[in-house]
Amino acid sequence: MKIAARFLAALSLAVSLAGGAWAADSATALVNLDCVKCHAQPPADIAAAGGAHKTSVSCLDCHIGHPPAVKKPIPKCSMCHSDKPHYKLAGCLSCHKNPHKPKDISFGRNVTDPCLSCHSGQIKQLRENKSKHTALNCSFCHDVHGKIPLCTQCHKPHSSDMTAADCKNCHKAHMPKVVTYGSSLPNKNCAACHKNAMSFLSASKTKHGKLLCVTCHQNKHKMLPKCQDCHGTPHPAGILTKFPKCQDCHNIAHDLNNWTSKAPVVKAKKAAGKKRQ
Ligand code: HEC
Ligand code: HEC
Ligand code: HEC
Ligand code: HEC
Ligand code: HEC
Ligand code: HEC
Ligand code: HEC
Ligand code: HEC
Ligand code: HEC
Ligand code: HEC
Ligand code: HEC
Ligand code: HEC
């Protein structure tokens, strides 16, 4: 459109608005380029962050009519968005605060249900693994959409050499009481709470002293291994019937007796093994 023509159109609109007589005839009908002449902010917002409301629709697709002919030409979101659970929520503008910047989203710290219109896995984990996190609102932790909080925003680490990055070695946010870990977790993670076990093990001169805590206590917190899970039947059956607990002779796993000479039982077993061959 020529600049002069736009000016004339705006002028005639101004005249008709001033006179209170809105004429909808095509000669004076508003076009999208007119709006900015009287409304500075919406076009500026759309230009800056309109997203699909800039590229897929125009002012006039949403604002059908204009005062005084149409008193409140404000569209309902449902005019165009209606086919997903998310679009059934109440109060679209409570999060999408400005329809001219539809992706600028903000909300308070007490939101849960609206999140579930798009995310379903987390609430399932939270409810199936009850903890004090289950009672918190999603946005109590995720106060900005998409932001992942650090555990240490709200909690102290178990020891001073543990950092925020260590928490996920053992905890998941949506099931924090289910403590699991991989097979290479350094011992210092456990030592934060188990000083005795750590000091016995690190003082041990036996081969157990070189093992990781999690080599024996595998996968899940409080898992207790049995000696025979790893050692099978190391001594003749007679010995083990007489002394059913390995600990009777070997002491505890973290602090095995450190014998310097081979015991007769072991020699006997080895000899027996040789004879059989
Ligand atoms: C010549 C100036 C002028 C132009 C051009 C103009 N408007 Fe307006 N607009 C006004 C005025 C003045 C009002 C307030 C009218 C009232 O409240 O009765 C208004 C009101 C509105 C409202 C209602 C606001 C509310 O709070 O209810 C909307 C929406 C609107 N205009 C959109 C547009 C769009 C979209 C365009 C371009 C297609 C446009 N306007 C072009 C002057 C203009
Ligand atoms: C996707 C639909 C949509 C588009 C596109 C859109 N608007 Fe709006 N506009 C709205 C809604 C919804 C409101 C009411 C916002 C509210 O209630 O806070 C609104 C409010 C307004 C208002 C009144 C309040 C204010 O912010 O001043 C004006 C004026 C306005 N729009 C002009 C425009 C202009 C000009 C354009 C094009 C550059 C435009 N709008 C594009 C949906 C739209
Ligand atoms: C006139 C039709 C129309 C109206 C009214 C409308 N929208 Fe849209 N909106 C669209 C279209 C078209 C798209 C792009 C396709 C899609 O995502 O469905 C879109 C996309 C969006 C997007 C994604 C933006 C992006 O860049 O990806 C959001 C968020 C959105 N709309 C929110 C709203 C809200 C909130 C309202 C009510 C205040 C609203 N819309 C009203 C037509 C509309
Ligand atoms: C609790 C806050 C909240 C409310 C209430 C809300 N939205 Fe959203 N909306 C969001 C978030 C968060 C996104 C995701 C943005 C992203 O993809 O990064 C979104 C995305 C969208 C999108 C684009 C992506 C898509 O899935 O289509 C549209 C369109 C949309 N909302 C429309 C609406 C409408 C319409 C309403 C009201 C019926 C509404 N929203 C209510 C928070 C909200
Ligand atoms: C309209 C759908 C929609 C709504 C409503 C919505 N989200 Fe999202 N959310 C998304 C999409 C899409 C992504 C991007 C997904 C991706 O990157 O894999 C996302 C990403 C996220 C992420 C980051 C995921 C990651 O892997 O980094 C978090 C956290 C999140 N949303 C939390 C929330 C919370 C909390 C709410 C409620 C306040 C919410 N969302 C509401 C659609 C939505
Ligand atoms: C925004 C704050 C916040 C963030 C972030 C957060 N928590 Fe929490 N957490 C809480 C609150 C509040 C409680 C309940 C405290 C109470 O009642 O004593 C809690 C409780 C816990 C509990 C005890 C659960 C129970 O039922 O006894 C564990 C374990 C926990 N958090 C671990 C974590 C871990 C690990 C992370 C990171 C993945 C994390 N938290 C992130 C706020 C937070
Ligand atoms: C106690 C704080 C807290 C609460 C409450 C919380 N989250 Fe999270 N969320 C996190 C943390 C931390 C992560 C990063 C992953 C982890 O540490 O397990 C995360 C990750 C996510 C992700 C990324 C994908 C994934 O599952 O790892 C999404 C999406 C998400 N949360 C959505 C939600 C929703 C929806 C709710 C409410 C039903 C919710 N969160 C409740 C702290 C929380
Ligand atoms: C080596 C695994 C491990 C790591 C790493 C770990 N935790 Fe824990 N955490 C646990 C165990 C096990 C418990 C449960 C103790 C109990 O039963 O009392 C626990 C309990 C908690 C609790 C609830 C009890 C309390 O002490 O208040 C919070 C909160 C917590 N952890 C936060 C964290 C944070 C924050 C981090 C990262 C800095 C972290 N944890 C790293 C294993 C770990
Ligand atoms: C946040 C502190 C904390 C951390 C970190 C922690 N634990 Fe524990 N652990 C505890 C508490 C508390 C108990 C229960 C003690 C009791 O019942 O007397 C416990 C018990 C145990 C038990 C004994 C279970 C039983 O039935 O006697 C084992 C084994 C254990 N933890 C191994 C580990 C290992 C291995 C790690 C490192 C991967 C670890 N713990 C990390 C706090 C922790
Ligand atoms: C998770 C597997 C595992 C468990 C459980 C386990 N051990 Fe071991 N143990 C080992 C490994 C690996 C070695 C080193 C073997 C080698 O290097 O030849 C070892 C070595 C030993 C040795 C020889 C020590 C040395 O320095 O020569 C004795 C004795 C022993 N274990 C006894 C026990 C007893 C008793 C228990 C139960 C209280 C036990 N073990 C539990 C894996 C395990
Ligand atoms: C060689 C395997 C092995 C290693 C390595 C090991 N443990 Fe154990 N742990 C056991 C066995 C077996 C028991 C059961 C009691 C026993 O026979 O000693 C046990 C018992 C425990 C207990 C409960 C009894 C107690 O002593 O409080 C805790 C806690 C524990 N271990 C923590 C740890 C930690 C922390 C580490 C690493 C510093 C570790 N363990 C390394 C095998 C091991
Ligand atoms: C009656 C005492 C006694 C009992 C009970 C006993 N052991 Fe032993 N075990 C010994 C002696 C003594 C040695 C030899 C120490 C050496 O070779 O340095 C030994 C050696 C071992 C060795 C090292 C073998 C090698 O070739 O280096 C392992 C592993 C072992 N025992 C595991 C066990 C397990 C597992 C149990 C329980 C099922 C058990 N022991 C019960 C006394 C006992």
How would you write the pLDDT of the chain (277 residues) with one tens digit per residue?
Answer: 333 334 334 434 443 443 333 444 444 689 999 999 999 999 999 999 999 999 999 999 999 999 999 999 999 999 999 999 999 999 999 999 999 999 999 999 999 999 999 999 999 999 999 999 999 999 999 999 999 999 999 999 999 999 999 999 999 999 999 999 999 999 999 999 999 999 999 999 999 999 999 999 999 999 999 999 999 999 999 999 999 999 999 999 999 998 754 444 444 344 333 333 2
Q: What is the residue with the minimal CA distance to atom 30 of ligand 6?
A: 176
**CA-to-CA distance for 34 and 9, rounded, in angstroms?**
8
What's 237's DSSP letter?
H
Radius of gyration of the chain (CA): 36
pLDDT at position 121: 98
**Which of 194, 109, 196, 117 has its CA nearest to residue 154?**
109
| 3-class DSSP assignment, residue 201 | helix
pLDDT at position 29: 87
Neighbours of 180 (CB within 10 A): 14
**CA-to-CA distance for 5 and 11, rounded, in angstroms?**
10
Q: Ligand 11 in contact with 225 (CB < 6 A)?
A: yes
**Which of 247, 210, 192 has its CA nearest to residue 225?**
247
Q: Which of 56, 57, 74, 86 for a ligand 4 pocket mutation test, highest count of atoms within 8 Å of Cβ?
A: 86
- The domain limits of the chain are 3-77, 113-169, 188-271
Give the burial string for 156-171 (b: 16+ CB within 10 Å, else e). Answer: eeeeeebeeebbebbb
pLDDT at position 17: 46
Q: Ligand 9 in contact with 168 (CB < 6 A)?
A: no
pLDDT at position 26: 44
E strand or H helix that includes residue 5: helix 3-18
Neighbours of 232 (CB within 10 A): 7
Contact 182, 189 (CB under 8 A): no
**Which of 132, 84, 125, 91 has its CA nearest to residue 108?**
91
Contact 89, 114 (CB under 8 A): yes
Q: Ligand 12 in contact with 235 (CB < 6 A)?
A: yes
pLDDT at position 260: 54
